[in-house]
Structure 1
């Protein structure tokens, strides 16, 4: 008798829970979106997109969110749409039981702005991903120019969240990307550098903000060592008005700093 009562009790309990679940599910199907929240993480100082920009992209693609039933919101399709945007690193849509829908977005951060030999422009972000220039927002980053070919580049996400996009960069772009990244990682070099220039020989030069000289790095080998040598040279080797005496500081060779002076001061 006792066993029958226990079975009866558990049957009632399970049936009640199932009924509550069905009821809650039916109520959820009737809930409409009362609020659409766009939360953008910039992960750095440069803004390339805004909440309004994201809303417009969703609307232009034919999707409606606010005022729609939660069951009618095509969250996965909207995620794919946002993840294909070249300025967006990641995007996730979450739907709350209270009727709110949130788009959690992380924006890519530009590292440098590239000008090709024909004048085309684009950004390369901190991971090596290529992004178009946004006319509404300008990122103040180091410029790369010179003998950079007019490379056909992809500037749209594939939506798969590629982990290492730098491996797909053209060799010249990879050269300026690695240089810009090394410069960014050193506060002194970042404050000093105005431009990264690829000369006729395909070598890397830095154009500093101070003085009339250029800094020849050569290739990307031992970049950190070269920048450390440059820092020591500026702190110990340049005094008074010497900023304008040099036309070239050559860091190509290991453990050497070779300086060339303008004809006004002779050469060394």
Structure 2
């Protein structure tokens, strides 16, 4: 008898809880939106989008948000607006019990800015996604320019395949180099620009020093960067930053410096 009473009590309690949750949900859906918030996580990068501009675009396309019942806000339409923005990596839309309509956005994080021979400017992130440079905002990242013939075709999922180094395009080669640079503390602080010369080989322009780094092709990339890091740490000396005009990494097991 006691066991039946316990089971019955739990059944009533759970049923009551579902009724209460249903009441809260119904009340919440009829609640009027009192506040509209857009929050942007810049992913440790410079801003390429601004929350107020995103809000303004949504309001233009959705008439109004504040003062409208939460159930009447067209969330799918808002998702479509956000999905068209190439600077947005992800977006989370949610409401709370106070009647606030919230959007949390994560911005894409570029690691390199490409300027090709057509003067097109576009970013690539670490996953290999290509997206256009903003005409209003600038991310302080590596720059690659010079003899880059490949062009950027705008698309939501324009991703470079970098699984293999064999037969890869100039975009893939630049991305491989950019990844190696940003993932090394010294190189990330020192290398400012990747230049593609007329022979399709790479030259690196440093932030500190007057020298040009002759990198050559992409072959043995890790070995070349290892040599460069060791040279900066042990071989260049105090006078070397101003002494050398060129640091050549093309030769195996050695670095050739010229004045």
Q: What's the TM-score bracket when you normalise by the shorter of the two chains?
A: 0.7 to 0.9
- Find 1:226's aligned residue among 224, 227, 241: 224
In structure 2, how many angstroms separate the alpha carbons of the residues matched to 1:70 and 1:238? 64
1:259 corresponding residue in structure 2: 257
1:173 and 2:171 matched: yes
How far residue 49 of structure 1 moved from its aligned partner, in angstroms, is: 1.3
TM-score by length of 1: 0.80
SS in 2 for 1:92: strand
Query: Structure 1 pair 232/31, CA: closer, same or farther in 2 (3 Å)?
Result: same
How far residue 18 of structure 1 moved from its aligned partner, in angstroms, is: 6.9
Moved more, 96-105 or 248-257: 248-257
Map Cα deviations across residues 234-259 of structure 1 (whole Å, 9 max, x no partner).
33332454444434322134322123
Query: Structure 1 pair 147/31, CA: closer, same or farther in 2 (3 Å)?
Result: same
Map Cα deviations across residues 160-203 of structure 1 (whole Å, 9 max, x no partner).
xx9xx331898112211221221111121122212100111111
In structure 2, how many angstroms separate the alpha carbons of the residues matched to 1:240 and 1:17? 73
Unaligned runs of 5+ in 2: none
In structure 1, how many angstroms separate the alpha carbons of the residues matched to 2:14 and 2:138? 60
Query: Structure 1 pair 61/150, CA: closer, same or farther in 2 (3 Å)?
Result: farther
Mapped contact 1:111–1:123 kept (Cα < 8 A): yes
How many residue pairs get matched?
Answer: 255
1:97 and 2:97 matched: yes
Unaligned runs of 5+ in 1: 262-268
Max radius of gyration: which structure? 1
Mapped contact 1:47–1:139 kept (Cα < 8 A): yes
Moved more, 201-210 or 9-18: 9-18
Query: Structure 1 pair 257/71, CA: closer, same or farther in 2 (3 Å)?
Result: same
Mapped contact 2:120–2:151 kept (Cα < 8 A): no
- Find 1:210's aligned residue among 208, 211, 233: 208
Superposed CA RMSD in Å reads 3.3
Moved more, 199-208 or 20-29: 20-29
TM-score by length of 2: 0.82
2:113 corresponding residue in structure 1: 113
2:235 corresponding residue in structure 1: 237
Mapped contact 2:33–2:101 kept (Cα < 8 A): yes
In structure 2, how many angstroms separate the alpha carbons of the residues matched to 1:102 and 1:219? 48
The correspondence of residues 29-40 of structure 1 with structure 2, limited to 5 A, is 29-40=29-40
Mapped contact 2:118–2:151 kept (Cα < 8 A): no
1:145 and 2:165 matched: no
Query: Structure 1 pair 19/215, CA: closer, same or farther in 2 (3 Å)?
Result: closer
Query: Structure 1 pair 198/63, CA: closer, same or farther in 2 (3 Å)?
Result: farther
Query: Structure 1 pair 10/51, CA: closer, same or farther in 2 (3 Å)?
Result: closer
SS in 2 for 1:166: coil
How far residue 207 of structure 1 moved from its aligned partner, in angstroms, is: 1.0
